[in-house]
Amino acid sequence: MDKQTALKLHREMWTWLSENPAKHKWNWPGWFFNGGNINLVAEYCFCCEISLDCDCCLVEWPEGECELEEGGGLFDEWNQSSLDTERSQLALQIANLPENKDFKADEK
């Protein structure tokens, strides 16, 4: 998977999650096992699939990473929230994170 495809799919999945806040990443209809045409990727995450490591993700996370050891990363907040309105807002934020200009793809 190339960088542009991963970024496009990242945005599609997270936009869908913002519109379906009670759902999780594995519920995205784009996955092959849900009737779509996309094969499963690492951690259900297109960024994780092609990134060398978390220090240089495909997108720029506000705290530097999606998950923080002490909690509080943007993904952590989305994953732990039970409020649909909050999950929707956080998912849309994740969908629209800027591309990381320093990104280097994994050579899988």
- Amino acid identity for residue 105 in this structure: A
pLDDT of residue 39: 96
pLDDT tens for the chain, 108 residues: list them: 999 999 999 999 999 999 999 999 999 999 999 999 999 999 999 999 998 777 788 999 988 888 877 777 899 999 999 999 999 999 999 999 999 988 876 544
pLDDT of residue 108: 46
**Alpha-carbon span 4 to 83, nearest angstrom:** 31
* Reported pTM: 0.91
**Alpha-carbon span 74 to 98, nearest angstrom:** 14
pLDDT of residue 53: 77
Length of the chain: 108
